[in-house]
Amino acid sequence: MKKCLSMIFFSLLVLSLAACSESQSANGDTGNGKTTLHVAALESGYGGDMWTKIADAYEAANENVTVELTVEKNLEEVIRPNMQAGEYPDVLLLATGRPEGLTETLIKEDGMEKITDVLDMDVYGEDMTVNNKLLEGFSDTLATNPYADGETYLAPMFYSPTGLFYNAGLFEEKGWEVPKTWGDMWALGEKAAKEGISLFTYPTTGYFDTMVGSMLYASGGTDFFNSAMTYEDGVWETEEATKVLETIKKLADYTHPNTVANANPNDFTKNQQLVLDNEALFMPNGTWVVGEMKEAPKADNFEWGMMSIPSFEKGGDRYAFTFFEQMWIPSASENKQAAKEFITYMYTDEAASIFLESGAVQPIKGITEEMEGDNLLYYNIYEEDGVLPAMGTFASTAPVPGVSIGDTLYGSIDSVISGEISVEEWRKQIEEASDQLRPAMN
């Protein structure tokens, strides 16, 4: 009898230990005292190898953590089924502005962990806080504080100045000056047209997000930009907004005729190729385009150039919108503190060097001192007199069925350029979308 009781007790103990082990595993404990941190990152133009190097380096620096990576070009498709089943990564590198809108969905559903405290944590292994190491302005925008409540939910990563890209070799050959005002642009457009060259093209309408942002800053300043981003009543009916919309409409007269037909995810590189072939002078883009078109044929003496968005008047401020990606922690993460520590490691000199090898630039102080060549040229654009950085995005709102400010503002540009809708119709649609989203702000 005692033997039977002993065996029953032993069996129960085994089952209890197994259940405990399973519970630890589910919470990221590998059973050997280490935490398994699930990191999901988009494989963008920078490639995926840098994430393997980051994981290896972090594991070497933090013996208490094992990093389990998911790095995919179609990251949303890969992780969404697991997330719908309740299995979330602990930390994600996935920016807003993606067509799938997964990050925006988590924002709208209050599915992100607040990481304001991360700014006051020391950078992993370094004697400096994250906030003190970040470049000024990167942790206090609607792109990091989506609820406009002073709290940070997304950490800034991989910043890239954006602007109008062109063939500097062609300008040197022709003796043309890079325009600083929109008046200069129109004059150059007339001159280029006589030589069979269009002034402008764009990859897709989505590339207008940073261009329109820079134009809003140039038209009305920071306060006006923030008013537009927070859906202030009547903001799109103002003189400042009208100036921006009418300028885009005027670009239609100078846009390459093939642009609209190619402005889609499958053919957008054909529009970029127009600049490489000297068929169009300018296109809105970011520094990633250099790597994206690295193997593409180019005109003789081609040399990449990038300029800020022109000002509306002589001597006015010009802006180069800073695009940056974001890293965040789902509220459903089971290893939130370990995820926060991992985020602080992203700003170490070691991590920044690994990223920089792949062309990804962290928004930390002193980073430009590590650059050379074209990258240094692009990232020094803010050293040019009169050029200022612009950053930010629309404030988050609760979902409003059938309403997307991005689709209305940017997605309609093909129709504006092709003449299908007027500026007045476009402005009315934007204002209506803004009015519908204002009450839904979180």
Q: Confidence band (pLDDT; 50, 70, 90) for 166?
A: very high
- The whole-number pLDDT of residue 357 equals 93
Q: Which of 139, 167, 175, 142 is nearest to 343 (CA)?
A: 139
- The whole-number pLDDT of residue 57 equals 98
Neighbours of 112 (CB within 10 A): 21
Contact by Cβ (8 Å): 392, 145? no
Neighbours of 392 (CB within 10 A): 22
Single-letter amino acid code for the residue at 253: D
Q: Which of 290, 195, 208, 286 is nearest to 252 (CA)?
A: 208
- The whole-number pLDDT of residue 4 equals 43
Answer whether residue 176 shows pLDDT above 80. yes
Answer whether residue 254 shows pLDDT above 60. yes
The stretch 144-164 carries a mean pLDDT of: 93
Residues in the chain: 442
The stretch 251-258 carries a mean pLDDT of: 98
- The whole-number pLDDT of residue 32 equals 67
| Residue listed under structure tokens 């940073």 | 210
The stretch 36-47 carries a mean pLDDT of: 94
Helix extents (H) in 109-256: 130-133, 168-174, 182-193, 208-229, 239-251
- The whole-number pLDDT of residue 312 equals 97
Give the pLDDT confidence of 6-31 residue by residue, as tens digits. 443 334 333 343 343 343 444 455 55
Rounded-to-integer distance, Cα 338 and Cα 264, Å? 40
Name the least confident of 7-16, 78-87, 162-171, 274-283: 7-16
- The whole-number pLDDT of residue 438 equals 94
Give the pLDDT confidence of 268-325 residue by residue, as tens digits. 999 999 999 999 999 999 988 988 999 999 999 999 999 999 999 999 999 999 989 9
Record the tokens describing residue 435, joined without a space.
């009015």
Q: Confidence band (pLDDT; 50, 70, 90) for 399?
A: confident
Q: Which CATH architecture has domain 161-321+392-440?
A: 3-Layer(aba) Sandwich (3.40)
Mean pLDDT for the chain overall = 91
Beta bridge partners of 319: 309, 388
- The whole-number pLDDT of residue 325 equals 94
Give the residue range(s) of CATH 3.40.190.10 domains in the chain.
32-159+323-380, 161-321+392-440
Q: Which of 278, 316, 44, 312 is nearest to 171 (CA)?
A: 278
Rounded-to-integer distance, Cα 282 and Cα 166, Å? 5
Give the pLDDT confidence of 337-357 residue by residue, as tens digits. 999 999 999 999 999 999 999
Rounded-to-integer distance, Cα 209 and Cα 429, Å? 17
Query: Could you tell me which CATH class the domain 32-159+323-380 is placed in?
Result: alpha beta
Contact by Cβ (8 Å): 68, 35? no
